[in-house]
Structure 1
Amino acid sequence: MAATVTAVVVGAAAWLQSTFNGQLPFFGTPQAANIAAQLGPLLSSSASVFTLGSSSFEEATARWQPWQSPSIDLVIKVATEADIEHTIRVANEHGKPFLAVSGGHGGTKGLSYVQEGLSIWMRGMTSVEIAEDGRSATVGGGILSGELAEAFSRAGKQNVVGACYCTGAVAPMLGGGHGWLQGRYGLMADNLISARLTLANATTITISETSHPDLFWAARGAGQNYGIVSSFEYKIYDKTPENEKWTYEVLTFRHHQLEDVYRVADTMIGGKDRIQPVELIHFTLWMRNPEVDTMNRVILFYLIYQGSSIPTKYTQPLHDLDPISATPPTTTDLLGVSDAVLVGKEGPFCAHSDTLALQRWPLSLASYEPISALRQTFDKLESLPPPHDNSAIILESYSLHGVQAVSDESTAFADRGGNMLVSPFIMYPFGDKGVDVQAEEYGKELRDILVNASGNPLNAYVNYASGFESQEELYGHEAWRLEKLRRLKREYDPENKFGYYVGIET
Structure 2
Amino acid sequence: MPTYPNNAIQDSTIETHAKALRDTLSSTTRVYHPDSTEFKTLSARWSALAGPKVNVVVVPSTEDDVAKIVQYARTTGLPILAFNGVHAAITTLGRMQGGIEIYMGQLSNVKIAQDNKTVTIGGGTLTKAVTDTLWNVGKQTVTGTCESVSVLGPALGGGHGWLQGHYGLIADQFISMNIVLADGTLHTIDASSDLWWAMKGAGQNFGIVTSLTSKIYDIEQYDWAIETLIFDGDKVEALYQAVNDYLSPVPAHLINWSYWLNIPNIDPNKPIVMLYIIQEGATAVSPTYTKPFHDIGPLSIDAESGDYRDLARWTQVALDSPPSQKTGLANPRFPAYIKEYNVAAQKLAYDAFAAEVSGNSPFAKSIFMFESYPVQGVQAIESDSTAFAFRDDNILTAPLIAYMPSSDELDRQAAELGNKLREIIRRGSGSEELHAYVNYAFGDESPQNWYGYEQWRQDRLMALKKKYDPDCRFNFFAPIKHDTYREE
Q: TM-score, normalised by structure 1?
A: 0.91
465-474 or 58-67, which moves further after superposition? Answer: 58-67
Other-structure match for 1:313: 288
Q: Distance in 1 between matches of 2:129 and 2:41?
A: 18
Aligned counterparts of 1:268 and 1:158: Cα–Cα separation in 2: 28
- Does the 8 A contact of 1:255 with 1:299 survive in 2? yes
Instruction: Please say if 1:442 is aligned against 2:420.
Output: no
Residue segments in structure 2 that go unaligned for 5+ positions in a row: 1-8, 483-488
**Distance (whole Å) between structure 2 residues aligned to residue 429 and residue 216 of structure 1:** 40
- 1:246 matched to 2:246: no
Return the offset for 1:359.
1.1
Q: Provide, for residues 211-266 of structure 1, a one-character-per-residue CA deviation record: whole Å limited to 9, x for no partner.
A: x1x200000000000000000100001114xx122100100000111111111111
Contact 2:125 2:151 in 1 (8 A): yes
Query: Percent identity at matched positions?
Result: 36
Distance 2:165 2:36 in 1: 44
Equivalent in 244, 268, 272 of residue 294 of structure 1: 268
1:86 aligned residue (68, 81, 95): 68
Alignment partner of 1:190 is 2:172: yes
Q: 1:70 aligns with which of 49, 52, 58?
A: 52
Take 2:41 and 2:330, find their aligned partners in 1: how far apart are those partners? 19
What is the CA-CA distance between 1:268 and the residue it aligns to? 4.1
Unaligned runs of 5+ in 1: 1-26
* Equivalent position amino acid for 1:422 in 2: T
- Is 1:378 aligned to residue 350 of structure 2? yes
1:358 equivalent in alignment to 2:331: yes
Aligned position for 1:258: 236
Instruction: Give the counterpart letter for 1:147 in structure 2.
Output: A
Report which stretch shifted further, 331-340 or 380-389: 380-389
Match of 2:22 among 40, 43, 47: 40
Deviations 1:320-345 (A, max 9, x none): 11110001x21122231111111001
- The correspondence for 2:452, drawn from 472, 476, 484, is 476
Matched, 1:176 2:158: yes
> 1:269 touches 1:397 (CA, 8 Å); kept in 2?
no
Give the corresponding residue for 2:208: 228
Residue identity opposite 2:348 in structure 1: Q
Cα offset, 1:68, TM superposition: 1.1
Distance in 1 between the 2:218 and 2:41 partners? 35
Distance 1:174 1:390 in 2: 29
**Alpha-carbon separation, structure 1, partners of 2:138 and 2:34:** 42
Aligned to 2:33, which of 51, 55, 65?
A: 51
Are 2:373 and 2:395, in contact at CA under 8 Å, matched by a contact in 1? yes
Give the equivalent residue in structure 2 for 1:493. 469
Q: Determine if the alignment matches structure 1 residue 155 to structure 2 residue 130.
A: no
Equivalent in the alignment of 1:416? 391
Judge conservation of contact 1:269–1:419 (CA < 8 Å) in 2: no
The aligned residue for residue 165 of structure 1 is 147
Cα deviation, residue 104, structure 1: 3.6
SS of residue matched to 2:401: strand
1:103 and 2:77 equivalent?
A: no
Q: Please give the alpha-carbon distance, in whole angstroms, between the structure 1 residues aligned to 2:63 and 2:169.
A: 26
Amino acid at match of 1:217: W
2:286 and 2:404 mapped to 1: Cα distance? Answer: 42
In the alignment, residue 98 of structure 2 is paired with which amino acid? E
Amino acid at match of 1:303: I
Amino acid at match of 1:107: A
Deviation at 1:155, TM superposition (A): 2.4
CA deviation vs aligned residue, 1:283-317 (integer Å, no higher than 9, x gap): 10001111111111110001101122322110111
* Equivalent residues of 1:226, 1:498 under 8 A apart: yes
Q: Does residue 330 of structure 1 match 2:310?
A: no
Whichever residue aligns with residue 286 of structure 1, its letter is W
Deviation at 1:152, TM superposition (A): 1.4
- 1:204 pairs, out of 186, 193, 201, with 186
* CA–CA distance in structure 1, aligned partners of residues 408 and 199 of structure 2: 34
Q: Alpha-carbon deviation of 1:35?
A: 1.9
> What is residue 11 of structure 2 aligned with on the other side?
29
Q: Which amino acid aligns with 2:289?
A: Y
Q: How many residue pairs end up in the alignment?
A: 469
Offset of residue 95 of structure 1: 1.4
In 1, Cα distance between equivalents of 2:247 and 2:459: 33
Aligned residue for 1:357, secondary structure, equals: coil
**Equivalent position amino acid for 1:346 in 2:** D
- In 2, the alpha carbon distance for the partners of 1:276 and 1:450 equals 20
Aligned to 2:435: 459
Cα displacement (A) at 1:269: 4.2
Q: Distance in 1 between matches of 2:321 and 2:215?
A: 28
Map Cα deviations across residues 113-165 of structure 1 (whole Å, 9 max, x no partner).
Answer: 11122110111111111011101011100011122211211222101111011
Partner of 2:5: none
- Residue by residue over 1:450-480, the C-alpha shift from the partner in whole angstroms, topping out at 9 and shown as x without a partner, is 1112111110000000011011111001110
Q: What residue number does 2:315 align with?
A: 341
- Show the counterpart of 1:504: 480
Q: Does the Cα contact within 8 Å between 1:191 and 1:234 map onto a contact in 2?
A: yes
Instruction: Verify the 8 A CA contact 1:250 1:301 in the aligned structure 2.
Output: yes
Aligned CA RMSD, in angstroms, stands at 1.4
Taking the aligned partners of 2:235 and 2:87, their CA distance within structure 1 comes to 33
User: Which structure would you say has the larger RCO, counting Cα contacts within 8 Å and 6 or more residues apart?
Assistant: 2
Amino acid at match of 1:384: E
Q: Report how far residue 29 of structure 1 moved.
A: 2.0
3-state secondary structure, aligned to 1:384: helix
Partner of 1:387: 362
Secondary structure at 1:221 match in 2: coil
- SS of residue matched to 1:304: strand
Q: How far apart, in 1, do the equivalents of 2:448 and 2:251 lie?
A: 30
Q: Is the 8 A contact 1:145 1:169 kept in 2?
A: yes
- Contact 1:361 1:464 (8 Å CA) reproduced: yes
